[in-house]
Structure 1
Amino acid sequence: MEREWTVEESVVVAVEPAAAYGAVAEVRRTGEWSPECRAVWSRSGPLPTGARFVGFNRKGPLVWFTTCRVTVAAPGREFAFRVGTFGLPVALWGYRFEPTGDGSTLVTEYWRDLRTGRGRRPAELLGLVFTATRPADRARVNRAGMRTTLARLKAALERPGRS
């Protein structure tokens, strides 16, 4: 099986793009819907381009943190951030928000593996140690996680009296 370097999943959410963007860009809420990220430390939110935050992740008994930097903060359109561990690039995560024409939004979550070049082997080894996931399996694991994340995001945003 050939290694996948990018993954995308989408869901339609019954809110305007600005509302969906606002929830995602408020990174401190990520633990509400992500199956891997349990909490985020950030000084404020929603975050602008260039802002940094720390993600605290857990998979089974394994716990680790990542350092993140916002690369795209375009309200109502796209939010993305680069993830690193111990100074090594790991991934680019992002969300695109497209109006559907009926007041809903197509939310697309995407991931790109950045473990390439000189730091590839150390970053892959750290990924294996912390996530117990082989590099070749990471795309499959992330696709499943995205489906969970998007389903939880949809439920949170469409819940009556949502905040």
Structure 2
Amino acid sequence: MSADVTERITIAAPAAEVYRAVSDVRRMARWSPECFAVWVWSRRGDAQARFVGFNRRGPFLWFTSCRVTAAVPDEEFAFEVTAFGLPVSLWGYRLAEVPEGVELSEYWEDRRGRGGRVLGRVFTGRVANDRPRANREGMRTTLERLKRELEAA
């Protein structure tokens, strides 16, 4: 299985509304099955903002440091993730207008080296090869919850 994962969903909402939702990282805890809190500690506009994500899966708890790398309204929002100074991943969202609203793609790129894979196993309880599958499942849940909330508004 590839270490890079992308999931897509179509949301019947304006692109500006979808972008506002995914770029407000504090809201992620409402949709994600792993992230339960976000602390934003640096706001230099959207680009280059920094935040900490607090995550859990079963009995495992961990946090990551994140830095926004792309903040293009109505098009893309992305951030790189590190843990203990080691690269972990790149997470992002791409938006494309379609007749039904917006096709939202959530993507994850694995950037872990050997040290990151070992730490990942310790803190998440997942072996390195299992992370893409776990993330794909989590992305599907996140996108479904996001769609439900935005379409109900």
Same fold (TM over 0.5): yes
How far apart are 1:67 and its partner, in Å? 0.1
Does the 8 Å CA contact 1:6/1:111 hold for their aligned counterparts? yes
Structure 1 counterpart of 2:105: 108
| Moved >3 Å (runs of 4+) | none
Does the 8 Å CA contact 2:42/2:51 hold for their aligned counterparts? no
Unaligned runs of 5+ in 2: none
The structure carrying a bigger strand percent of its residues is 2
What's the TM-score, normalizing by structure 2? 0.95
Instruction: Tell me the distance in 2 between the aligned counterparts of 1:66 and 1:108.
Output: 22
Q: What root-mean-square deviation, in Å, do the aligned CA atoms of Structure 1 and Structure 2 show? A: 1.5
Structure 1 counterpart of 2:34: 36
Indicate yes or no: 2:141 matched with 1:144.
Answer: no
How far apart are 1:44 and its partner, in Å? 7.5
Q: Percent identity?
A: 53
Cα deviations across residues 60-80 of structure 1 (Å, max 9, x unaligned)? Answer: 111111000000000100000
Aligned length: 153
In the TM superposition, what are the counterparts of 1:1-163 in structure 2 within 5 Å? Answer: 3-43=1-41, 48-102=46-100, 104-115=101-112, 120-159=113-152, 162=153
What's the TM-score, normalizing by structure 1? 0.90
